[in-house]
């Protein structure tokens, strides 16, 4: 649902701005424990995020989906101070710098091959 989408946006925004995910653990249990305890490790000093960015991410990662930023709709997120200088209408009108031209819906020519060049190792699964 939508609350999960806003939470995921908080994860992605943190990763874009910090360079790593906000929650981690050596086991799934450790990871889950960190997520539910709301322990976000914020960079400090020269690496610190601007206060509005940290506040936005904290609001998006609010554990309670009913209190999470965006629970009342996208306008809540768009109105956050982090986006104050963003012209949403201009953004919608902006032309994409690159539009791929696909041969079909299955065209993957813009992606690198999943397999490195050379023969497959003997241990690789076969079709």
**Can you give the pLDDT at residue 13?**
96
Condensed to tens digits (0 to 9), the pLDDT of residues 48-93 reads 999 999 999 999 999 889 999 999 999 999 999 999 999 999 999 9
Neighbours of 33 (CB within 10 A): 13
pLDDT for 111 beyond 60: yes
Percentage of the chain exceeding pLDDT 70? 88
**Can you give the pLDDT at residue 58?**
94
Per DSSP, the residues of 18-73 read HSS-S---SSHHHHHHHHHHT------GGGPPPHHHHHHHHHHT-SSTTTSTTTT-
User: What's 2-84's CATH class?
Assistant: mainly alpha
**Can you give the pLDDT at residue 121?**
66
Residue 120, SS3 per DSSP: coil
**Can you give the pLDDT at residue 3?**
72
What global pTM score does this model have?
0.73
User: Residue ranges of the domains in the chain?
Assistant: 2-84
Please name which of 5, 40, 4, 34 lies closest in space to residue 20, comparing C-alpha atoms.
40
């Amino acid at each position: 649902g939508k609350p999960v989408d806003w939470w995921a946006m908080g994860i992605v925004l943190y990763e874009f701005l910090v360079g790593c995910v906000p929650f981690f653990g050596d086991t799934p249990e450790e990871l889950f424990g960190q997520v539910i305890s709301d322990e976000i490790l914020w960079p400090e000093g020269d690496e610190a995020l601007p206060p509005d960015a940290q506040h936005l991410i904290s609001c998006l990662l609010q554990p309670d989906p009913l209190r999470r930023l965006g629970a009342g709709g996208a306008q809540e997120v768009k109105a956050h101070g982090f986006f104050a200088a963003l012209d949403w209408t201009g953004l919608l009108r902006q032309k994409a710098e690159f539009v791929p031209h696909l041969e079909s819906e299955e065209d993957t020519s813009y992606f690198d091959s999943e397999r490195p060049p050379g023969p497959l190792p003997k241990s690789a699964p076969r079709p």
